[in-house]
Amino acid sequence: MKYEHVLQHSEEDCGAACLAAIAKHHGRTFTLNRIREAVGTGQLGTTLLGLRRGAEALGFNARAVKASPQILDKLKQAPLPAVIHWKGYHWVVLYGQHRKKYAIADPAVGIRYLSKNELAAGWTNGIMLLLEPDSVRFSAQVDDKVGGFGRFFKPVWAYRGILAEAFIINLVLGLLSLTSPFLIQILTDDVLVRGDTQLLTGVVTAVMVMNVVSSSLRLVQSNLIAHFSQRLQLGLVLEFGRAILRLPLSYYEARRSGEIVSRLRDIQEINQLVSQVVVSLPSQLFIAIVSFSLMLFYSIKLTSVAVCIAVVMTISTIIFLPTLQQKTRSLLVLEAENQGILVETFKGALTLKTTTSAPQFWEEFQSRFGRLANITFRTIQIVIINSTFSGLVSSIGSVILLWFGSSLVISKELTIGQLLAFNGMNGNFLAFIGAVVGFVDELTRVQTATQRLTEVIDSTPENPVDDKRPFAKIPGDADIISTNLNFHHAGRTDLLEDFSLTIPGGKVIAL
C-alpha cells in the first residue's frame, strides 16, 4: 500500500501538512497555505481545536478523542488515517499496522515504520483526531493547483541567445574532449611502436593547440553561464521581493521572519539546478551518446562489461539515496528553523533582556544547534560511507575492465591504443551517469525548496487589482440589530458566542 505524505515547509506547518496528506490520501490536493488559513496556524503551530475546525471547513467529519494505550491492538476498528499528537509537540499521520510495524507519515522526514514500543513511546498522551471525508462537502472541495519546478524554467526563454551560445561552446568542448582518446591511441599504436618522431611532434603540437582552444572556450563559456545565472537569480529575487511586499499583515503575524529570509537560499539552490539542466546536462548527454557509440565500435564485448559495471556502480550509489535524502531534508528544515530563531532573537533582544530570559533561551539554543550538529554528523557519515563504497566498486570495476580488455589485446581483438582510448570514452559515459544520479538527488532536495518558495510567491496578495469591498448604506435613523452572533479567530476559542445587540438609530453606543 502506498502511504501519502506531505512535507512541512517549516516547524509550525506539521498540523497543516498532516491534513494535506490525509486529503491527498482521499483524492484531494490542498496547498499548505489554504490549510494554514483554515486551521489558524501561527508562530507556535496549530492547536487541536484549530485542526478540528479546519478539517470541518475542508469537508471532513472530524472528532477529537483521547485514546487509551489499548487502541494499538484495535487500530483496525478506527477510521484511519488519523492525526495523532507526537511527543507532545508535533503532529503526524497514523496509517495503521504494516506487517509487524506501524506506518506513520511524519511531515518533518516522510514515511516511517515504527515498532509498537516506538509508537507507544512517541504517542504518550493518546490525543487523536479522527477524520472521515463527508460524501457531499469533501467532494465539493476544489483541488488547488500546486506550483512545481517547471515555473522556474519560464524566465529561461528570455536568455535563449546566451544559452544557445553556451550550448554550442559546450558541444565544441565535448568534441575536443573526445579527440583526446584518439590522440592517445595514435600515440600508443603508431608513434611509440614505430618510433616516428615526426608524427610525435605533430601529436604534441595538436595537443597544445587543443588545450589553448579549450581554455579560451571555457573562459567564454564560464562568463556566459555566470551572466545567465546572475540574471536568472536576480529575476527570482525581485519576484520574491515583490510578492512579500504584497502579502497581508496576517501572513507575517503567522510566520517567523527568519523563515521568510531563508527562502533566499532556496532561490540559490533552484538557480543552480536550472543552470545545470539547461546548460550542463544536454552537452554531457551528447558526449555520452557519442562516447558509447565509439565504445560499441571498438568492442561490443568490452562495452557489455562496461555497462554491467556502470549498472553496479549506479545501484551502489542509489542504495544510499533514500536515507541521504531523508537526512538532508531534516537538515534543511532544521537549519531554516534555527536561522529563523536567530533572526527573531536579534529582533526581540529588548524583550529578551528586560524579561531576563537569556538563560532559558540559552538552553533552547544549545538544544537546537546540538540537534543540528548531530544530524549534520550523521549526514556526513552517510556521505562518507556512500563515497567509500562507490569508490570501492569503481576501483574493482576498473580492474575488471582492464583485465578483460587486456585479454582482448592478447587475443588480438584490440590494440593497446584502442584499449586506452576505450577507457577514456568509458570515463565520459560514467561521468554522465554520475551527473544524472547527482541531478536526481539534487532535484529531490530542490523540490522542498521549490514548494517553500512557491508558497510565498503564490500567496494571496493583500489588495488584488479587481478587489471590490462590499459597502452597505444605512440610513442614519435605522436600528442596527445583531442576533446570536458567534465569532472566533481560526484555530482559537470563541470570542463571541450567541451575542445579540440592538443599536438604536441615531445613537452612539460605546462597547
248-304 confidence digits (pLDDT tens): 777 777 776 666 667 777 787 787 777 777 777 887 888 888 888 888 888 888 889
The overall average pLDDT reported for the chain is 81
Do 225 and 347 share a structural domain? yes
Give the residue from 79, 105, 133 where a domain finishes.
Answer: 133
β-bridge mates for residue 106, sequence order: 110
Do 341 and 487 share a structural domain? no
Do 298 and 162 share a structural domain? yes
Give the number of domains in the chain.
3
3-state secondary structure 387-398: HHHHHHHHHHHH
- Please tell me the distance from the alpha carbon of residue 346 to that of residue 359, in angstroms, as a whole number: 16
Do 112 and 180 share a structural domain? no
Do 21 and 100 share a structural domain? yes
In a domain, 142, yes or no: no
Do 178 and 73 share a structural domain? no
- Structural domain including 126 reads 11-133
Using alpha carbons, list the distances in angstroms from residue 460 to 73, 154, 447.
45, 21, 22
Do 353 and 212 share a structural domain? yes
Judge contact between 99 and 169, C-beta under 8 A.
Answer: no
In a domain, 401, yes or no: yes
Do 393 and 253 share a structural domain? yes
Do 40 and 121 share a structural domain? yes
In a domain, 3, yes or no: no
Closest by Cα among 395, 486, 393, 453 to 148:
453
CATH code: domain of residue 30: 3.90.70.10
CATH code: domain of residue 157: 1.20.1560.10
Print pLDDT tens along the chain (511 aa): 688 888 887 778 888 999 999 999 998 888 888 888 888 887 778 888 889 988 998 999 999 888 888 888 888 888 889 999 988 888 999 998 888 889 999 988 888 888 888 888 889 888 999 999 988 888 888 887 766 666 677 777 777 788 788 878 888 887 887 787 888 888 887 777 777 777 778 878 888 888 888 888 888 888 888 888 888 888 888 888 888 888 877 777 777 666 666 777 778 778 777 777 777 788 788 888 888 888 888 888 888 988 888 888 888 777 877 777 777 777 776 776 676 677 667 767 777 777 777 788 788 788 888 888 888 888 888 878 877 887 788 888 888 888 988 888 888 888 888 888 888 888 888 888 888 877 777 776 777 777 777 777 777 777 655 555 666 777 777 878 888 887 766 656 677 777 887 888 777 777 6
Supply the pLDDT for residue 252: 76
Supply the pLDDT for residue 489: 65
Q: Which residues contact 182 (CB under 8 A, 6 or more apart)?
A: 421
**DSSP string computed for 84-99:** EEETTTEEEEEEEEET
Q: Which residues contact 501 (CB under 8 A, 6 or more apart)?
A: 480, 481, 482, 485
Do 412 and 335 share a structural domain? yes
Do 241 and 385 share a structural domain? yes
In a domain, 138, yes or no: no
Do 169 and 33 share a structural domain? no
60-66 β-sheet, strand order: 60-66, 127-133, 82-86, 90-98, 101-106, 110-114
